Amino acid sequence: MSEAGDAQGGASLEEAAPGAGQGSTAQDGVEDGATGAPGLRHIAFRARIWQRRALIVALRVAKLVRTGVSRFLPGLRYLGRALQQRWRRSLQFRTVLTTLMLAVTSFAVVGAYLSNQIANNLFQERLTQAESETRYNVKQVQETFDGAQVTDQSSVITLVSDTLSAVEGRGSVIQRRYVFEAVPNQTKPRNRWVESRASDQLTVSVIPPELRKAVQESGKDQYWASTVIPVGTEDRPGIAVGNKVTFNGTVYELYLIYDLNTAQQTLNEIQSVLWAGGAVLVLLIGAVAWYVTRNVVSPVSHAAMVSEKLAAGQLQERMVVKGEDEVARLGASFNHMAASLQEQITQWPHSRKCSSALCPMSRTS
């Protein structure tokens, strides 16, 4: 009775304290009003100063952005024009660039497909293992609960904690985690000694609502869903597998949660190897395309240069012929054409003189 009186007295003092402060004197209110207006004016003045400073900073940042764009934009335009001109004038550049683009696109499609298939296979393998382990552990839990002969609160709590700890499989590495929650709105009398249990850092909120609804509405079926579990300071992907168990007339939801971080690390390593190998492969394809096109395009470029010199009057120019392949036969045919053209052009003035000397004879006859 004294404790209740003290609590009531304390509460009344706390409630009376603001009243006493509010109704102390009228003079205090006048002083507060007198000093409140300058304080508000000072706050407004400081707010205007910070607003102006923010505006100045924003204008300076905008100016820096405009300056950077004005400096880099001409360079980008020049680079674009250079690439466009190179694309029009160089067959080798077009071939190599097209080959690289096709190789990158093909590898991206194939790499994405392989990565997706590997991820699905890893997930399905882990899911199958999780479902099998969950069935076994739920059966062990139910058998332990059915064979338990405990009636007092401490024995019940100890039994539930030890059973769930065994399911968790504690050791150097936690194999699985659990969430143990009583099914709500039960018609049977509920065991008030054990309402819920969960592994470290876990709550029932990590279980998707769809999974809880499926487990609550089911009989003895097993359901699963993907989830995210907190481990330390990071969130990891996981699989939650749910079942129902009964203990002392109370139905509970038992969810075993499996960490997929190891599978995710394996997938990340495989993807890293795929992308690194793909990058090396693309570079090799580009090098091969450059080498092949260079061997094909170089004789054509040389032929074009020799043709321009022949057109300029340098009739002694010839192509360098190496080998016996198609390009070599093309060079030999080109040199034969150039020699024939040079011979005809050289003989053309002499034939013109001969025809001029024969003209008078033809007239006198």
Helix and strand element counts for the chain (H, E): 7, 5
DSSP structural state of residue 325:
S
- Predicted pLDDT at 33: 45
306 or 100, which is more confident:
100
Flag whether pLDDT at 30 surpasses 70.
no
| CA terminus-to-terminus distance, the chain | 162
- pLDDT computed for residue 149 by the predictor: 83
Highest mean pLDDT among 8-17, 280-289, 309-318, 331-340: 280-289
Helix, strand or coil, per DSSP, at residue 257: strand
Cβ-Cβ contacts under 8 Å for 257 (sequence gap 6 or more): 176, 177, 178, 179, 199, 202, 206, 227, 229, 238, 239, 240, 241
CA distance 70 to 62: 12
pLDDT value at residue 350: 60
Q: Class of 118-267 per CATH?
A: alpha beta
**Residue that is written with structure tokens 């939801």 in the block:** 253
Reported as a single tens digit per residue, the pLDDT across 141-154 is: 999 999 988 878 88
Where in the chain is CATH 3.30.450.20? 118-267
Encode pLDDT of 68-115 as tens digits: 777 777 877 888 888 888 888 888 888 899 999 999 999 999 999 999
| pLDDT score recorded for residue 11 | 38
DSSP state of 62: H
Distance CA(247)–CA(241), nearest Å, equals: 19
Phi-psi bin for 232: left (phi > 0), alpha (psi -120 to 50), beta?
A: left
DSSP code per residue over 209-229: HHHHHHHHH-SS--EEEEEEE
Report if pTM > 0.85: no
pLDDT at 37: 54
Give the mean pLDDT of 288-315. 82
> What would the DSSP string read from start to end of 154-214?
HHHHHHHHHHHHHHHT-SSS---EEEEEEPSS-SSPP-TT--EEE-TT--GGGS-HHHHHH
361 confidence band (pLDDT: 50, 70, 90) = very low
Q: What pLDDT was estimated at residue 310?
A: 80
Residue 356 confidence (pLDDT): 52
Binned at pLDDT 50, 70 and 90, residue 116 comes out as very high
Q: What was the pLDDT predicted at 72?
A: 78
Please report the pLDDT score of residue 299 as a whole number: 78
Q: Is the model's pLDDT at 285 over the cut of 80? A: yes
Question: Which element (helix H / strand E) includes 237?
Answer: strand 234-247
Highest mean pLDDT among 30-44, 122-136, 341-355: 122-136
182: phi then psi, degrees, rounded to nearest 5: -70, 135
Predicted confidence at residue 187, as pLDDT, reads: 66
